[in-house]
Structure 1
Amino acid sequence: MPDSLQFVIRNNTDSPSCFAYITGLALQQDNQRCFVKGDGNLYFPTAPNSGSILQPLAEDCAVPLGEPGNETTIKVPQIAGGRVWISRDKKLTFLVNPGPALVEPSVLNPSDPNADVDFGFVEFTLNDSQLYANISFVDFVPRLPMGIELETASGAHTKVCGLPPDGINQIADRLNGQAGGDNSPWDKLIVLDKADGSPLRVLNATHGGTVGADFGAYFDEYVSKVWDKYSKDDELTIDTQCDTGVVKGKVNGSGELDFGDGLTFARPSTADVLGCNSGPFTTGPDPRRNAIIPRLAAGFVRGTLLNETNHPSDPAGFYKDQTVHHYSRIVHEVNSDGKGYAFAYDDVDPTGGEDQSGKVNAGDPTVFRIILGGKD
């Protein structure tokens, strides 16, 4: 593995004012939080004066991406927890608190200085083992489409297309339709541009509370049906795809989904299913339980637990039930190749199955590309 990699960002939007910011933990610099500037040098934010909060960066770390059709190359060192932030028409605002602690753009805070900016990001980690990157929709879908490509020394070329140019409008239209179909607030997840009223971004339903989208007991009936199914003759089989192996569970007399050896799961609430990180899906010190959680949570999100008893199941059966995480369903439907990280465990696939999460990774990367605008 190289100690750095060429990142190439192609501006295929219609805007000459797109900007990139690369953040993460510099692995070769004691894991310090850093920005990678356009010349490949690193900027390490410093703590503001005592008593000061939410202070601007001492340097402008924006990388201008040039006119439509332009490609910008940046040499990126080994970084963990990295993000390539891209904004269109306006720069992003990053702030610093004592620590120093970097305050990144947030789509959940209406008073955030970036609330009205069209931006998104690609997540990545570059270390001694590999480059791993994905297009994340776990928190929101941006209006700005982004695709990724990875070339390797072995000649392999992998690509995730991302959204088409009008992807955000397609998602908004389908969420509006879903809201009319089941009387749930999917339409409230659409955040409109204050300038022209068009969709600016769409929030994941797990963040619905920030925009008044209360999903209440949306999944309760589905959960009851699952519990009823596995309290009778059916047995839920989960291949953990690790040392824990294959486990089998049924609902016990205490009303818990029981896989034996103390591995029991209470009924999840709607909030538990949407977020995949609370209630019975809270991870802890037991690696066996932690291996079951992603596969069980994915079954609820994708609506496969009533139709299939063996999990992870075939993607052909995902989102066929009426009660599913429709944000996730629609994100996959609208993405040009059907791929995208739409919930926390969207990388759960059957062994040998096609990746659903929209990731690229390799141990011998040579060039990593980000393509803006939804066009090749």
Structure 2
Amino acid sequence: MLSRRAFLGVSAGLSFAAVTAHALPATAAPATFSLALVNQSGSGSVYAYVTGFAPDGRLVLLNSAGQPYYPSSPSSTLTPLPVDCAIPVDGRRVTVPRMYGARVYFVTDAKLDFFLNPGPALVHPSFLNTSDPNFNRNWSFAEFTFNDAQLFANISYVDFVGLPLSLSLQTTSSGTQSVSGLPSGSADALASALTAQGGAWPQLIQKGSDGRVLRVMAAHHKADQFAGYLDGYIDQVWQKYAGTTLTVDPQNGTGPFTGRVSNGVLTFNNGETFAKPTTADVWSCDSGPFAIAAGASDARKAIIPRLAAALNRTTLLANANQPTGENPANFYQNAQTNHYARVVHSKLPDNRGYAFPYDDVTPGPDFSGSVFAGDPATLTVTVHATHA
């Protein structure tokens, strides 16, 4: 299985770390692939934006004609992007060169405003800053990295659920892969479920100027509202493993690693230690004991995802053999759990899509919502309707 974090690199300020290993193809991938853009949203005007980093590290976008555009560094911050990079989503195809940490943004009924900071650095649309001109627009994105080994693309709900997308990857000789994504109207369904859940969960809902649900955020974007939410569960986990051995399989041919809690610290037999995390650490998967510092060992990089995943799914208390002994039917069954992830997965027809950063940790089934191949021909991204 492939890892979203390992392949996407430095996209949009997110930090990524290897989760799992995968044998790469022996032959090099082609120099380009075809990106097909399909509008099934019911909106008459939909635009796409393709942005990422070229192999030499330069910022690159495709312009409105589908040609690579390498912005120059501006003299001041928040300089409007000087080139039109809005590609109409009307069944057309564009040719995509090698790039990493890339995104394909989609927006309905308007264009997005992108800005440049000195560097150049691209200022991406924000769903957190209410003064951002894109805040009240209906947009979403898919992620991909395309290097000399393969194309890796995925649908992510790590940040929010909004405009629904689906993926299909046609290859030259290795078949077709697809991810159905969330169906039309899923933001409404998710908002309804979280409203019924009560507590802080309804605060994840963002509505547009028309009063309709625009998007639903992941819980880590409102972490202050969930302070202490998982404390009881985490305390029980730490108490259990003070007297029971926790086994973590890194699933890469090394290990397994065993650990016990002593004096409030979870210590593994390879010397890696973990303080008790907070709810915010669990939601984000990259703060407190789950932050991956420079020089972190491969063992630590393997243990963190499996601990974070089991805590998001609230299975760590019941299962001391992670993730080998996991049963997906037991995910999210605790009263205090990641209900955002629970409901997202309940709405996914194929149960595939990242609802938190380490959602690709698995005992076997693929939950990650990714497609990948060393011989990509055409990646089709289809935009569906926000409201059913």
Q: Is the structural similarity TM-score above 0.5?
A: yes
For residue 280 of structure 1, the aligned residue among 281, 289, 293 is 289
For residue 128 of structure 1, the aligned residue among 148, 169, 172 is 148
**Alignment of 1:239 onto 2:259:** no
Residue equivalent to 1:61: 85
For residue 44 of structure 1, the aligned residue among 67, 70, 86 is 70
Q: Where in structure 2 are there 5+ consecutive unaligned residues?
A: 1-28
For residue 232 of structure 2, the aligned residue among 200, 215, 221 is 221
Structure 1 residue 303, shift from structure 2 partner = 0.6
Give the secondary structure class of the aligned counterpart of 1:35: strand
Q: Where in structure 1 are there 5+ consecutive unaligned residues?
A: none
CA contact (8 A) 1:190 1:201 kept: yes
Structure 1 residue 31, shift from structure 2 partner = 2.0
Give the RMSD, CA atoms, in angstroms.
Answer: 1.4
In 2, the alpha carbon distance for the partners of 1:136 and 1:166 equals 17
Residue equivalent to 1:200: 214
Identity %: 45
1:26-70: per-residue Cα shift (whole Å, max 9, x none)? 12xx22101112433111122223xx321111111100113xxxx
Summarize the Cα distance change of 1:127–1:249 in structure 2 as closer, same or farther, 3 Å threshold: same
CA contact (8 A) 2:167 2:381 kept: yes
Residue equivalent to 1:149: 168
Structure 1 residue 243, shift from structure 2 partner = 4.6
In 2, the alpha carbon distance for the partners of 1:315 and 1:6 equals 35
1:102-157: per-residue Cα shift (whole Å, max 9, x none)? 11111111111100010000000011111101111111111x11000111122421
In 2, the alpha carbon distance for the partners of 1:374 and 1:239 equals 40
Give the secondary structure class of the aligned counterpart of 1:283: coil
Summarize the Cα distance change of 1:345–1:291 in structure 2 as closer, same or farther, 3 Å threshold: same
Structure 1 residue 101, shift from structure 2 partner = 1.5
**Alignment of 1:328 onto 2:341:** yes
For residue 329 of structure 2, the aligned residue among 283, 298, 316 is 316
In 2, the alpha carbon distance for the partners of 1:77 and 1:15 equals 29
Counterpart of 2:246 in structure 1: which amino acid?
L
How many aligned residue pairs are there?
A: 354
**Alignment of 1:301 onto 2:337:** no
Give the secondary structure class of the aligned counterpart of 2:92: strand
In 1, the alpha carbon distance for the partners of 2:178 and 2:375 equals 16
**Alignment of 1:174 onto 2:198:** no
CA contact (8 A) 1:167 1:335 kept: no
Shift >4 Å, 4+ stretches: none
CA contact (8 A) 2:108 2:138 kept: yes
Residue equivalent to 1:251: 261
Structure 1 residue 288, shift from structure 2 partner = 1.2
User: What is the TM-score when the length of structure 2 is the normalising length?
Assistant: 0.88
